[in-house]
Chain A
Amino acid sequence: MITGPSSTRLVLSALVAQPQTAATFDSLFNWYLFFGIGAAVVVIGLMIAFSIKYRSRGASGPVKHKAESWKIALVTVVISLSILTAAEYQTFASFGNIEIPDPPGAVTIHVLAFQWGWNFTYPNGKFDLTNLTVPAGATVILNITSRDVFHSFGIPSLAVKEDAIPGRVNQLWFQAPQAGFYKDAIRCFELCGLGHATMIGNLVVVNQTTWDTMYNETG
Chain B
Amino acid sequence: MVSWSYIKRWLYTTNHKDVGLLYLFSSFYFAVIGATLALLMRTQLSVPNNNFLTAVFYNQAVTMHGLIMIFWFLSPFAIGFMNYFVPLQIGAKDLAFPRLNALSFWLFFTGGLMELISFFAPGGTTAAGWTNYQPLAALQAGSGPTLDYLGLVLLAASVTLGSVNILATILWMRAPGVTVSKIPMFTWFALFTIVAMLFSFPTLIAAFALASSDRLLGTVFFTNPSVQPSILWDNLFWFFGHPEVYIVLLPAFGVIANVIPVFTGRPLAAKNAILIATALIVLPLSFGVWMHHMFLTGIPVSLQGVFSISTILISVPFDVITLAFVESLFRGRLVFKAPLLYSLAAIVLFIIGGIEGVFLSSPVLDRVFRGSYFVVSHFHYVMVGAAIFGLEAGLFYWLPRMTGHMYSESLAKIQFVVSFVGFNVLYFPMSFLMDMPRRIFTYQNIGSWATLNGLASVGAFIFAGSFLLLAYNVLNTWFRGPPAQPNPWGSDDLEWPTPSSGMTPAVGSAAVASDAGWIGQLSTAPGGGPPIHSAASAPGEGAHGHHLSSRPIWLSVGAMIFLVGASFYPGGLAVGTMVVGALIAFYSLYGWARDDLAGRFAIPLEQLGERWPFNAVPKMKLGMWVFLSSEIVLFGSFIGAYIFIRSAVISWPAAGTVHDIPLGTINTLILVTSGLTMALAVQAIRQGDQRRLLMWLGTTFVLGSTFMGIKLSEWVNLSSAGFVIGSANPTTSLAASAYYFLVGLHGAHVVAGLIVMVYLMKKTASGMYTKDEHEAVENFGLYWAFIDIVWCFLFPLFYLL
A contact set with B: CB distance below 8 Å: 5, 8-10, 21, 24-25, 28-29, 32, 35-36, 39-40, 43-44, 46-47, 50-51, 54-66, 68-73, 75-77, 79-81, 84, 87-88, 91-92, 94-95, 97-99, 148-150, 152, 154, 156-157, 159-163, 165-172, 184, 187-197
CB neighbours (8 Å) of B380 from chain A are: none
**CB contact list, B263-289 vs A, under 8 A:** 263-267, 269-274, 277
B contact set with A: CB distance below 8 Å: 55-56, 59, 62, 127-129, 133-136, 139, 225-226, 228-231, 261-267, 269-274, 277, 296-298, 301, 304-305, 308-309, 312-313, 315-316, 319-320, 322-324, 326-327, 329-337, 344, 347-348, 351-352, 355-356, 358-359, 362-368, 370-372, 432-435, 437-444, 446-448, 489-492, 514, 516-517
Given contacts A47-B329, A56-B335, A189-B370, contact A166 B135 (CB under 8 A): yes
- Apart from the given pairs A148-B135, A190-B133, A197-B443, 12 other A-B contacts in the complex at a CB distance below 8 Å: A8-B448, A25-B368, A28-B364, A54-B332, A64-B265, A70-B270, A77-B319, A87-B312, A191-B59, A191-B439, A193-B127, A196-B440
In the complex, the answer to whether B136 meets A47 with C-beta atoms within 8 Å is no
In the complex, the answer to whether B435 meets A149 with C-beta atoms within 8 Å is no
A168 to B750 Cα, complex, angstroms: 39
CB neighbours (8 Å) of B319 from chain A are: 76-77, 79-80
The 3 closest A-B pairs by CB, nearest first: A189-B371, A73-B273, A197-B440
CB neighbours (8 Å) of A36 from chain B are: 355-356, 358-359
Given contacts A10-B447, A43-B322, A54-B334, contact A72 B327 (CB under 8 A): yes
Partner of B298, one of A40, A84, A88, A165: A165
The minimal Cβ–Cβ distance linking B358 to chain A, given in whole angstroms, is 7
CB neighbours (8 Å) of B447 from chain A are: 8, 10
In the complex, the answer to whether B225 meets A196 with C-beta atoms within 8 Å is no
In the complex, the answer to whether B320 meets A77 with C-beta atoms within 8 Å is yes
Given contacts A62-B514, A149-B136, A161-B368, contact A84 B316 (CB under 8 A): yes
A selection of 26 A-B contacts at a CB cut-off of 8 Å is A8-B432, A8-B434, A9-B434, A29-B365, A39-B355, A43-B322, A47-B348, A50-B326, A60-B337, A62-B265, A62-B491, A63-B267, A68-B269, A68-B270, A70-B272, A73-B273, A77-B319, A80-B320, A98-B301, A150-B133, A150-B230, A154-B370, A157-B435, A159-B368, A163-B296, A165-B297
In the complex, the answer to whether B347 meets A69 with C-beta atoms within 8 Å is no
The minimal Cβ–Cβ distance linking B314 to chain A, given in whole angstroms, is 10
Given contacts A40-B352, A51-B344, A191-B133, contact A64 B359 (CB under 8 A): no
In the complex, the answer to whether A69 meets B270 with C-beta atoms within 8 Å is yes
Of the candidates A81, A99, A154, A184, the one having the most CB atoms from chain B within 10 angstroms of its own CB is A154
CB neighbours (8 Å) of B364 from chain A are: 24-25, 28, 91, 94-95, 97-98
A97 to B262 Cα, complex, angstroms: 50
Given contacts A76-B319, A87-B358, A167-B226, contact A9 B368 (CB under 8 A): yes
Partner of B370, one of A50, A94, A152, A197: A152
In the complex, the answer to whether B269 meets A69 with C-beta atoms within 8 Å is yes
A191 to B131 Cα, complex, angstroms: 10
Given contacts A84-B315, A197-B55, contact A44 B128 (CB under 8 A): no
In the complex, the answer to whether B59 meets A64 with C-beta atoms within 8 Å is no
The minimal Cβ–Cβ distance linking A22 to chain B, given in whole angstroms, is 9
Partner of B273, one of A70, A88, A94, A99: A70
A12 to B330 Cα, complex, angstroms: 48
A99 to B395 Cα, complex, angstroms: 50
A25 to B435 Cα, complex, angstroms: 13
Of the candidates B264, B296, B336, B490, the one having the most CB atoms from chain A within 10 angstroms of its own CB is B296
In the complex, the answer to whether B313 meets A84 with C-beta atoms within 8 Å is yes
In the complex, the answer to whether B262 meets A63 with C-beta atoms within 8 Å is yes
In the complex, the answer to whether A91 meets B336 with C-beta atoms within 8 Å is no
In the complex, the answer to whether B301 meets A60 with C-beta atoms within 8 Å is no
In the complex, the answer to whether A54 meets B333 with C-beta atoms within 8 Å is yes
CB neighbours (8 Å) of A56 from chain B are: 265, 333-335
A159 to B783 Cα, complex, angstroms: 53
Partner of B333, one of A44, A47, A58, A80: A58
A149 to B223 Cα, complex, angstroms: 10
In the complex, the answer to whether A77 meets B316 with C-beta atoms within 8 Å is yes
A36 to B490 Cα, complex, angstroms: 38
CB neighbours (8 Å) of B365 from chain A are: 25, 28-29, 32, 91
In the complex, the answer to whether B355 meets A91 with C-beta atoms within 8 Å is no
A60 to B263 Cα, complex, angstroms: 5
A197 to B443 Cα, complex, angstroms: 7
A36 to B312 Cα, complex, angstroms: 13
A70 to B262 Cα, complex, angstroms: 20
The minimal Cβ–Cβ distance linking A99 to chain B, given in whole angstroms, is 5
CB neighbours (8 Å) of B327 from chain A are: 72
In the complex, the answer to whether B442 meets A197 with C-beta atoms within 8 Å is yes
Partner of A165, one of B128, B231, B372: B231
The minimal Cβ–Cβ distance linking A149 to chain B, given in whole angstroms, is 4
Given contacts A60-B265, A72-B324, A72-B327, contact A32 B362 (CB under 8 A): yes
A169 to B231 Cα, complex, angstroms: 13
Name the CB-closest residue of A to B274.
A73
The minimal Cβ–Cβ distance linking A148 to chain B, given in whole angstroms, is 8
In the complex, the answer to whether A62 meets B490 with C-beta atoms within 8 Å is yes
CB neighbours (8 Å) of B514 from chain A are: 62
In the complex, the answer to whether B335 meets A59 with C-beta atoms within 8 Å is yes
In the complex, the answer to whether A167 meets B359 with C-beta atoms within 8 Å is no
In the complex, the answer to whether A64 meets B266 with C-beta atoms within 8 Å is yes
Given contacts A73-B277, A167-B228, contact A60 B489 (CB under 8 A): yes
In the complex, the answer to whether B225 meets A166 with C-beta atoms within 8 Å is yes
CB neighbours (8 Å) of B133 from chain A are: 149-150, 190-191
In the complex, the answer to whether A51 meets B308 with C-beta atoms within 8 Å is no
A95 to B273 Cα, complex, angstroms: 35
CB neighbours (8 Å) of A59 from chain B are: 335, 490
The minimal Cβ–Cβ distance linking A197 to chain B, given in whole angstroms, is 4
CB neighbours (8 Å) of A171 from chain B are: 298
The minimal Cβ–Cβ distance linking B413 to chain A, given in whole angstroms, is 14
CB neighbours (8 Å) of A28 from chain B are: 362, 364-365
The minimal Cβ–Cβ distance linking A6 to chain B, given in whole angstroms, is 10
A160 to B139 Cα, complex, angstroms: 29
Given contacts A47-B348, A55-B336, A87-B312, contact A196 B439 (CB under 8 A): yes
CB neighbours (8 Å) of A64 from chain B are: 265-267
A92 to B324 Cα, complex, angstroms: 30
Name the CB-closest residue of A to B489.
A60
In the complex, the answer to whether A65 meets B439 with C-beta atoms within 8 Å is no
In the complex, the answer to whether A191 meets B129 with C-beta atoms within 8 Å is yes
CB neighbours (8 Å) of B261 from chain A are: 63
In the complex, the answer to whether A184 meets B444 with C-beta atoms within 8 Å is yes
A33 to B375 Cα, complex, angstroms: 16
CB neighbours (8 Å) of A166 from chain B are: 135, 225, 228-230
Name the CB-closest residue of B to A21.
B367
Name the CB-closest residue of B to A47.
B326
A29 to B263 Cα, complex, angstroms: 39
A88 to B226 Cα, complex, angstroms: 35
The minimal Cβ–Cβ distance linking B106 to chain A, given in whole angstroms, is 32
Given contacts A46-B326, A84-B315, A150-B230, contact A161 B296 (CB under 8 A): yes
Partner of A60, one of B316, B435, B439, B490: B490
A149 to B233 Cα, complex, angstroms: 12
A9 to B490 Cα, complex, angstroms: 53
CB neighbours (8 Å) of A195 from chain B are: 55
